[in-house]
Structure 1
């Protein structure tokens, strides 16, 4: 089995984007192989990766994830192929349905038939990025005349941001793997097994084949101030866990009753109350916090068979706001 890769999500905490270079250049020496981005928080997914490829060419680059409703499949293919030609490292294009609050409320686009749209986009991208005719056998999109005009020398892998079995089946069956997040360490084997079964992917000892990626994104808040960390976690989790895809995900995991009070508060328009209603134990399991040594041990619990990459989203903390230059040392401690 190949060694697990370690990635960092950009942008970095307490750093302006223009100030990322020194830390990005140092990442291989700190034990990190990848840089990843999401899209939806004010910074696009591809510009930071292009900068990272110039600053530290050996890094693997990934998006985790780009919504399929805010960029057409042809634009996604062109952008990923261009990045792949520019970069020396491998490129992984992670796409997903996202949530209506991003695709509709912020971007004005529809959020219809997310499973079918993601599946169609993945099939389109796999063909386009390998120089094959894309065809027109899609339920939710049409671009039969599309062609990149060239085949990338190393076609990007296409991953899917997935939560429940059917989308996990698209990730493992149609795509090259899954990007998963907002789950506990104990949830990981169940999620991988569901994707393997739904995608009809045979494996070794019950785990996906080596060529399938499973990227686990972890939210890490490295601070001694537990009250600060929990308040920050509740602010994020009280919103995201009550978005329809994530609420359904945790219901599938058996947490519907545990989240009911938060869900009721959110439906009533009380976002603060939705966060406050989350049990401490769940906040601590989804928003990892504490000193680096304790965090390192908790991160290690996610290293289940089938996991190929651990991706750390490092949240800003009072310590980092006070000394942003301490980030590199902190990353080394988390990875050690």
Structure 2
């Protein structure tokens, strides 16, 4: 049975209290886990600590914590602490993010993202294993680091984000799970082959890995508003976040649309970029419509063989009422 998680839009909501209320609402509705991303705005660690204190049973997770903005040792310390304050409910999602975020906003070089992700995962696992960490890698060299506090038991699971074949293979080889984003059902199925290949390269059982698909969702009584919010969200990512999302969409059979969205967005034609999104692409990447329509649409994604959890996420411009309606409509 596919689990239903939720990913809250930490940067765009009015306050931490609103986000906390949304998380407790998700807990009461039976969602399995509340994920929080880290992009720009509020940091994910403070928010997850707040949620750990204000919730009781729902899982919490970072999706995704960038591997360039913190050292691997600090990420390990943070994971240990969040596992402690949440009484074992924490799951760590890691990924490289992209050059716009890392180079333009953090001022760091977006160098060898897959290698950095791999080494970060390896180091974090060692930090959390109650051993003295000696590590000689291509990106990091560590000597003599060990948690002074007791290491968490159980160790929090570590997921890796990825859309390309090598990134997903890396998740299969080194992480405990994979976070998928901006993939159609067919795209997910294709990448699951990469995940299995990675697991086999590491002599691991692919069935032990958890696959989570992040799915943009908006359920409101105003169907046109729901679809417009989703289209604005997709246009922003395809057109405004570099070329990787554009190329990922193009590789899934929407080459003409992806390039037109990108070109219009970068010509400051935001409405044109939204108009260039085919209805078929919305249906393949998102859930959008009335609550009844949204529930029906969700079934298309729960039916994907190999996906263990769907993470209900929200358009960038979604307001608290939109989020509340969507949470209620898509609750497990």
**Could you say which TM-score interval applies, normalised by the shorter chain?**
0.7 to 0.9
Return the offset for 1:109: 1.5
Are 2:18 and 1:30 equivalent residues in the alignment?
no
Q: Secondary structure at the match of 1:46?
A: helix
Q: Secondary structure at the match of 1:143?
A: strand
Query: What are structure 2's unaligned runs of at least 5 residues?
Result: none
Return the offset for 1:272: 5.0
Work out whether residues 31 and 332 of structure 1, in 8 Å CA contact, stay in contact via their aligned partners in 2: no
**Mapped partners of 1:333, 1:269: distance in 2:** 34
Are 2:229 and 1:241 equivalent residues in the alignment?
no
Change (3 A) 1:17 1:265: same
Return the offset for 1:134: 3.2
**Mapped partners of 2:295, 2:201: distance in 1:** 31
For these two proteins, the number of residue pairs brought into alignment is 327
Return the offset for 1:32: 0.8
Range with greater deviation from structure 2 (101-110 or 193-202): 193-202
Work out whether residues 160 and 179 of structure 2, in 8 Å CA contact, stay in contact via their aligned partners in 1: yes
Matches within 5 A, 1:101-120: 101-120=100-119
Range with greater deviation from structure 2 (73-82 or 85-94): 85-94
More helix by share: 2
Query: What are structure 1's unaligned runs of at least 5 residues?
Result: none
Q: Secondary structure at the match of 1:145?
A: strand
Q: Which of 226, 229, 243 lines up with 1:232 in the alignment?
A: 229
CA displacement, residues 62-101 of structure 1 (integer Å, 9 cap, x when unaligned): 1110111111111111111100011124321101011112
Matches within 5 A, 1:282-301: 282-301=281-300
CA displacement, residues 108-146 of structure 1 (integer Å, 9 cap, x when unaligned): 121111111111111111221122343223111222332
CA displacement, residues 301-322 of structure 1 (integer Å, 9 cap, x when unaligned): 222232222111134788x65x
TM-score, length-scaled by structure 2: 0.87
Work out whether residues 217 and 286 of structure 2, in 8 Å CA contact, stay in contact via their aligned partners in 1: yes
**Mapped partners of 1:148, 1:252: distance in 2:** 44
**Mapped partners of 1:158, 1:292: distance in 2:** 33
Work out whether residues 60 and 91 of structure 1, in 8 Å CA contact, stay in contact via their aligned partners in 2: yes
**Mapped partners of 1:88, 1:131: distance in 2:** 18
Matches within 5 A, 1:13-52: 16-52=15-51
